[in-house]
Amino acid sequence: MTDRTLYVAGPATGARVQKDGEKWTLVLIRDFRHPPAKVWEALTDPAQLAAWAPFDADVSLGTAGTTAKLTWLGTQTTIETTVTQADAPNVLEYGDTRWELEAFAGGTRMTLWHRIDRRYVAWGATGWHICFEVLIQVLSGIAVARIAGGDAMKIPGWQRLRDEYSNLFGIESPHPKKAEN
């Protein structure tokens, strides 16, 4: 699938939020039919991140202590972050993001913790959901177009998926609903 208009988002799944006072953490869990080492490379290698992630990285994220510039698609906001933990292929942490990979028979369970402003929890879950669906294709060797940033809001099912996550988390998005194309 190289045409974004052919993509339709699947149902909201594998997500929860953790609240600690004013701080919110989005927790997303996905299973992949690929070994942890392959998933690790997709999480750390800038070329692979450019195929599926909602940001571009200027360097590999696979080494603790590395300072990286992440440019978030859609906003073109660049943040500088330091990789605080990189225990290949198990744990990766930088900025407001922590990834854990756990091998199981036939694949890898990936858990993402992303600290996020409460107002954007449903949007964040929707964006990561779509990125992970693209990642599944990328890991399987299927040529797909990256769907992130503003492009994600243009796909069929984006608004429905965002609403499903809003309902799942019991929060209302303060943003106006965008008409689907």
Identify the weakest region by mean pLDDT among 52-61, 110-119, 138-147: 138-147
Write down the number of H helices and E strands in the chain.
Answer: 4, 8
Query: For residue 181, is pLDDT > 50?
Result: no
Burial of 122 (0-12, 13-18, 19+ CB in 10 A): buried
The pLDDT score that the predictor gives to residue 175 is: 53
| pLDDT interval class at 168 (50, 70, 90) | very high
Bridge partners of 100, per DSSP, are: 91, 111
Going along the chain from its start, the domains and CATH numbers come out as 4-169 (3.30.530.20)
The pLDDT score that the predictor gives to residue 180 is: 40
pLDDT > 70: percent of the chain: 91
Average pLDDT score over residue span 108-128: 93
* Short-list 161, 154, 172, 181, CA closest to 74: 154
pLDDT > 90: percent of the chain: 67
* Short-list 121, 115, 116, CA closest to 162: 121
Three-state SS annotation for 121-146 = HHHHHHHHHHHHHHHHHHHCCCCCCC
Report yes or no: 66 and 91 within 8 Å, Cβ to Cβ.
no
pLDDT top residue among 174 and 19 = 19
As a whole number of angstroms, the distance between CA 26 and CA 5 comes to 27
Sequence-distant (6+) residues with CB within 8 A of 38 are 108, 139
